[in-house]
Amino acid sequence: MSWTIYRHYKGNHYLRLGVGAHSEDLSPHVVYRCLYDNPEARTWIRPQGMFEETLEDGRPRFTPVARMRLVQSEDCPTVLAFGYDAWGEGKTLAEFIAGYDHSRNHQRGTRYLLETLAGVPVAGLNTLRFRRGLMGLASVATDPAQRGKGYSALLVRAAMELQRFSHGDLRFLLFSEVPPSVYERHGFLVLPPEYQRFLPSVAMATGDTPLSVEEAESLKTYF
């Protein structure tokens, strides 16, 4: 299964979720999700013809820029290798990849990758469903040759919005090994000092209410 990410001609990005039929005349409508904070709505519909149309100045209204899809078994060596330079810890690449066979989070998580329209994988991440209303993000990594192009940021937001669309409002947890500002743009906040037990990785969460006891316990399952 895959989902195409589009850039609107005004600059914002959207995740195309599918096409539905209008209940009155069966006309096709594209269902798509904002990949940015929009106070009016997160999920939108638009007649398919309008979604795919070309404007008077020759520009498309929406331009496809990348695809997000589920990681298949044959993708794992490529996607897992994206984090080797950061997390290899003296292992050979083969040892590093093989180690995931014994990782609880790897086994129970759902991995997504971002690929170019030509089908080249450029970034990956793992989603961890802890409990109803609570999900974790892990192993966010970009192909070293593709870093600095915004691919991981696009994948993070697309995965978050897909999960929100599928499961309703969610709180997300993660441990950041990059400056927290990278994730603050997606609504994450640095948690209080009592949750910072695994430095230098910084514990972060979405939402502006304190973590419940159950949510705090979920932080421990990362390690």
Q: What is the pLDDT of residues 189-219, one digit of tens each?
A: 999 999 998 889 999 999 989 999 999 988 8
Q: What is the CATH number of domain 71-222?
A: 3.40.630.30
Tokens describing residue 59 = 């520009």
Break the chain into its structural domains and give their ranges. Answer: 2-64, 71-222
Structure confidence at residue 183 as a pLDDT band (50, 70, 90): very high
pTM: 0.93
Structure confidence at residue 223 as a pLDDT band (50, 70, 90): low
**Cα distances (Å, whole numbers) of residue 201 to 217, 219, 223:** 17, 12, 11
Tokens describing residue 219 = 């932080």
Q: What is the pLDDT of residues 40-74, one digit of tens each?
A: 999 999 999 999 999 999 999 999 999 999 999 99
Tokens describing residue 170 = 């969610």
2-64: CATH topology: SH3 type barrels. (2.30.30)
Measured over the CA atoms of residue 159, residue 164, residue 169 and residue 170, the dihedral's sign is negative
